[in-house]
Amino acid sequence: MSKWMLRVAAAIFGMVAAFAPALAQQTVNLTFRFNDTEEKEMRAALDQFEKQNPGIKVTLQRIGWRDARDQFLREAAVGQGPDVVHVAQVWVKEMGQAGALQPLNDLIKQAPLTNGFSDFMAQELAQNKEGRIYGLPWTTDTWAMVYRTDLLKEAGVTKLPETWAELHDVSAQVKQRTGKTGFGFPAGGSASGAIWFLANCYWWSNGKAMVVQKPDGTYGMNLTTADVVDSMRYVKSFLTEGHNPTSNLSASDAHDPSILQALVNGQQAIATMPPNTYKQVLEMYATANPGKPVPFVSGPFPKGTVTRTSMIGGRMLGINANSKHPAEAWKLIRFLASEPIFTQYYTTQFPAQRSLLKNVNWSPELKGFAEQLGYARTWGPYSDGPAPIGAMWNATGRAFSAALSGQRREQDAAEELLQAVDKLMKTRSQ
């Protein structure tokens, strides 16, 4: 009797032992590297995800944006790195090419997106020429102009400037009538400086561009020295005429504290920035002036000879090529791209899906950004083309800064810039 019982016990034990590893393996551990400051909110969202998907645990990581790209490329090259990674939209193709991100096409087929991939903006930046999709667009934003209504009123300005020339005149008027800064923009030349955005908006609005795709499929430049000199002279006029203080030559970010403080304290009337920075300005104003109405309004970029436009910025989510759990990672990505994430948790950014964007509640101060999104375009050929965006960005910033600070004549700086970009487009081999 006891021998028989022993045999049964052993058999049961054996079966449990055989299945135990399989049962234990059911918990999948994912790492999600999310690089913005809304860590608490994202953690709450991930807790929700874990509740909905018992068996998947997600660890949240963060690397500042400055170092995010290099760090991920390094890790991917040695077989490490997080499963799901938060990347800038202009990095996706390069990272796919470099073998750091894995293609999502099969995953999309197996577990399709609610509104389909075509609902997502900036798709061209997510896939390569053969149609391999390396990232899912997640958030989108664009820069717009920001105005202090009380200062404009004080200067006698009745309507927001529509063209670049009007912007210049309004800025000068503010300085003349009130003594305060007009359009205070960062004119510094650091590697990821803001002057790159201003310059491109100016060129695009006049029908030019640093990188274009020609009808035969190759890439070229639609920018002459004269165009660059013109844009440099325009930007410099604000500095030499004093309505953008020369100290802004050492400011390279739109969120530079001296610019933001000038806006909050009423020392500056006009600025340009992304929506998240603008929200910080509004918050700070509210903290410093509790109960008072907020004298800020946003508006679209000025028109050039052809159009008014700005660049669609954005972030995407990708799956590490080394990830051991692509299916679960894809589940997490689909969860993160769903509407509740943007309405309940990650409320500081706008979703990169047209259907969701329609439902966003724009507060009155932010209406300008909503309008500008309609005019905005993606980087397109800049990202597809042979020259790395970062290198062109850096070269442009340096050239403008050299011209604006007087180290070089505009003509020379412009020529050198175009030569440098030309070299980048030719020597970079794929």
Q: Please state, as a whole number, how many other Cβ atoms lie within 10 Å of the Cβ of residue 49.
A: 19
Q: Do 163 and 301 contact (CB within 8 A), yes or no?
A: no
Nearer to other proteins (CB atom), residue 61 or residue 225: 61
Q: Please state, as a whole number, how many other Cβ atoms lie within 10 Å of the Cβ of residue 149.
A: 15
Q: Cα 292 from chain centroid?
A: 32
Q: Do 403 and 410 contact (CB within 8 A), yes or no?
A: yes
Q: Which residues of 256-282 are buried (b: 16+ CB within 10 A; e: fewer)?
A: beebbebbbebbbbbbbbbbbbbbebb
What mask, x for binding other proteins by CB under 8 A, covers residues 226 to 265? Answer: -------------------xxxxxx-x-xx-xx-xxx-xx
Q: How many residues of this chain interact with other proteins, rule: CB under 8 A?
A: 81
CA dihedral (54, 58, 59, 60) in degrees, to 10, reads: -130
Nearer to other proteins (CB atom), residue 66 or residue 177: 66
Nearer to other proteins (CB atom), residue 190 or residue 347: 190
C-alpha span between 377 and 362 (Å, rounded): 20
DSSP character at residue 53 = S
380 binds other proteins, rule: CB under 8 A: no
Nearer to other proteins (CB atom), residue 258 or residue 338: 258
Q: Please state, as a whole number, how many other Cβ atoms lie within 10 Å of the Cβ of residue 238.
A: 25
| Structure tokens given for 356 | 């969701």
Positions 181 through 220 that interact with other proteins (CB under 8 A): 188-191, 193
Nearer to other proteins (CB atom), residue 75 or residue 328: 75
Of the ranges 47-55, 68-76, 166-174, 302-310, which one interacts with other proteins (CB under 8 A)?
68-76
Q: Cα 416 from chain centroid?
A: 28
Q: Do 316 and 87 contact (CB within 8 A), yes or no?
A: yes
Of the ranges 65-73, 111-119, 128-136, 170-178, which one interacts with other proteins (CB under 8 A)?
65-73
Least separation in angstroms between CB 238 and other proteins? 14
Selected binder of other proteins within 185, 285, 296, 369 (CB under 8 A): 285
Least separation in angstroms between CB 117 and other proteins? 25
Positions 310 through 369 that interact with other proteins (CB under 8 A): none
Nearer to other proteins (CB atom), residue 206 or residue 320: 320
Nearer to other proteins (CB atom), residue 264 or residue 418: 264
Beta strand pairing call for 84-88 and 28-33: parallel
Positions 386 through 425 that interact with other proteins (CB under 8 A): 388, 390-391, 393-394, 397-399, 401-408
CA dihedral (336, 108, 376, 241) in degrees, to 10, reads: 60
Least separation in angstroms between CB 213 and other proteins? 21
Of the ranges 50-58, 283-291, 333-341, 358-366, which one interacts with other proteins (CB under 8 A)?
283-291
C-alpha span between 289 and 285 (Å, rounded): 6
Least separation in angstroms between CB 67 and other proteins? 6
The dihedral region occupied by 390, where left means phi > 0, alpha psi between -120 and 50, and beta the remainder, is alpha
Of the ranges 48-56, 90-98, 151-159, 161-169, which one interacts with other proteins (CB under 8 A)?
90-98
C-alpha span between 205 and 169 (Å, rounded): 18
Nearer to other proteins (CB atom), residue 88 or residue 164: 88
Of the ranges 1-9, 32-40, 293-301, 355-363, which one interacts with other proteins (CB under 8 A)?
32-40
Of the ranges 11-19, 20-28, 29-37, 339-347, which one interacts with other proteins (CB under 8 A)?
29-37
Of the ranges 49-57, 209-217, 278-286, 360-368, which one interacts with other proteins (CB under 8 A)?
278-286
85 binds other proteins, rule: CB under 8 A: no
Least separation in angstroms between CB 281 and other proteins? 8
What mask, x for binding other proteins by CB under 8 A, covers residues 93 to 112? Answer: -xx-xxx-------------
Least separation in angstroms between CB 78 and other proteins? 4
| Structure tokens given for 324 | 């051991």
79 binds other proteins, rule: CB under 8 A: yes
Selected binder of other proteins within 46, 56, 58, 63 (CB under 8 A): 63
- The H or E element spanning position 72 is helix 65-77
Sheet holding 296-299, edge to edge: 181-183, 268-273, 144-148, 296-299
C-alpha span between 102 and 322 (Å, rounded): 8
Residue corresponding to tokens 């310059």:
199
